[in-house]
Amino acid sequence: MLEKLNELNVQIICVVFEKKKLFNKFPKTDKNKLYNYVAGKLAEYIKLVNTNLEIRIDKSKGKQVFREDFNKYFKEKLMSESKKRVRIHHSYSHAWCGLQFADIVAWACFQKFEHRDDSYITLLNENKIKIYYEN
């Protein structure tokens, strides 16, 4: 499946964090803030070039208030340099295949950095994926 992404007009961005540093910043009991922070860091690397953007996020946030908080925070991080329209949808991964691809890419990155196995992530062409490291 990863090789299929090479045929599509997509750009993949992965942000890698050290778990210990993240858990020092955020208590394990506040998963919503941690999730927002990680997604916000990803948003900072997305470059909007004269285009509107539609984003699908895994519907992991059960309460509407958490989704609204996430949407506001993510848009602020994403739109720092752009005035384009951004629409955010929260969908179940089993109902939207793009989220399944995102899960596979995240797993491939995890294999590379956690287990030193880059055999999966190297299935993607270098021009398709950018990996950023956060401290």
pTM of the model: 0.82
Q: Domain range for residue 8? A: 2-134
Q: Determine the pLDDT at residue 13.
A: 94
54-63: pLDDT as tens digits: 889 888 767 8
From the list 43, 53, 12, the residue with the least C-alpha distance to 4 is 12
d(CA 115, CA 113) in angstroms, rounded, equals: 6
The separation between CA 55 and the C-alpha centre of its own chain, rounded to angstroms, equals 10
Percent of the residues in the chain that have a pLDDT greater than 90, as a whole number = 47
Mean pLDDT, rounded, of the chain: 87
Q: Which range has the worst mean pLDDT, 30-39, 56-65, 76-85, 119-128?
A: 76-85
Residue 12 has pLDDT above 90, yes or no: yes
The count of domains in the chain is 1
From the list 39, 6, 5, the residue with the least C-alpha distance to 22 is 39
Among 42-46, 82-86, 119-123, top mean pLDDT goes to 119-123
Q: Determine the pLDDT at residue 81.
A: 61
The three state secondary structure string of the chain is CHHHHCCCCCCEEEEEECHHHHHHHCCCCCHHHHHHHHHHHHHHHCCCCCCCEEEEEECCCCCHHHHHHHHHHHHHHHHHHCCCCEEEEEECHHHCHHHHHHHHHHHHHHHHHHHCCCCCHHHCCCCCEEEEEEC
